[in-house]
Amino acid sequence: MKNIIITGSSSGFGLKAAKDFADQGNKVFATMRKPDGTNAGKKAELEAHSPHIEVVDMDVASDASVKKAMDSIIAEARNIDILINNAGIMYLGITEAFSVEQARVQMETNYYGAIRTMQAVLPSMRKAGTGLIINTSSLVGRMSPPFFGTYTATKHALEGYSQALRYEVAPFGVDVVMVEPGPFGTGLLASGQSPAHAEVLGSYGDLAGVPLAMGEHFAQLLSSEDAPDPQWVVDAYMKLAELPAGQRPTRTVVGITWGVDEINKLTQPIQDRVLKEMQLEAVLGGVSA
């Protein structure tokens, strides 16, 4: 039995992962915002699914909320085997028209939120000499399509942080990996906001309507019979959990790839070469892939 923390467990990949890991007999701490309020139904669904699931109130965008929740989880479990950072929000629209505050809101959840939870579990993982952190990134953490700019920035930040952290904690027996889903019908688009700067939208003319049309197209695609199955992402989580420590790939692309699998294959060897060029191979153990 493993002790597993999953953020963003009220919907999408997080909800499915909590159920599947619990079905294997693992103890799952399924975190979400407002489990006794707007997400009370999701809390009841998870608790009814398995006695191995414990729903925990946590807002990854809040220092105080993360500290309170993670302290209580670690006090109960003592050791955490796996952390899956799944919580996320995404805005789609004209990049220039989103305010700094809107960009900040996404960073607080998608990037700083992951840092908060990782820093909470890493001391005990390093002490135990084992642990796995799975950060749910995105295809747009490795490339930048139009109209996703503020969201893309959060995933590029998460990728950069995770890559560096992977090198640094590997000598302690801790693996940090990234899962990079393509588009899936998880409701992520519904978490977005319209751009705050309406005057900017007006100056873009017909182009201002393209993101809305794109969103509608994605919604139709992802609700069709041919849509990628969100279960594929959960299966990737579970496969990574089963692989031996030190043998887990840095990045796992799932679903529609948009060429990101090719980008990873090309750039990872270059990325790993930095250890040799900085004379850090002996210090960090040459972790790669």
- Whether 175 and 126 have beta carbons less than 8 Å apart is answered as no
Marked catalytic residue, from 10, 11, 50, 162: 10
Q: Which of 137, 138, 162, 167 is catalytic?
A: 137
Q: Which amino acid is at 116?
A: R
Farthest CA pair distance, the chain: 57
**Are 164 and 206 within 8 A, CB to CB?**
no
Active-site residue, from 111, 112, 151, 167? 151
DSSP-derived secondary structure letter, 78: S
- Active site annotation includes 194: no
Count of alpha carbons within 13 Å of 100, Cβ hemisphere only? Answer: 0
Asked if 179 and 134 touch (Cβ cutoff 8 Å), the reply is yes
- To the query of whether residue 137 is one of the catalytic residues in this protein, the response is yes
Task: Starting at the earlier edge strand, list the strands of the sheet with 174-181.
Answer: 53-57, 27-32, 3-6, 82-85, 131-136, 174-181, 251-254
- The catalytically annotated residue of 112, 138, 155, 167 is 155
Reply yes or no on whether 155 is catalytic: yes
Distance, in Å, from the CA atom of 267 to the CA atom of 264, rounded to the nearest integer, reads 5
Please list, residue by residue across 43-62, b when 16 or more beta carbons sit within 10 angstroms of its beta carbon and e when fewer do: bebbeebbebbbbbbbbbbb
Per DSSP, the residues of 212-264 read: HHHHHHHHHHHTSTTSPPTHHHHHHHHHHHHSPTT-S-SEEEES--TTHHHHH
> Is 10 a known active-site residue?
yes
Catalytic residues: 10, 137, 151, 155
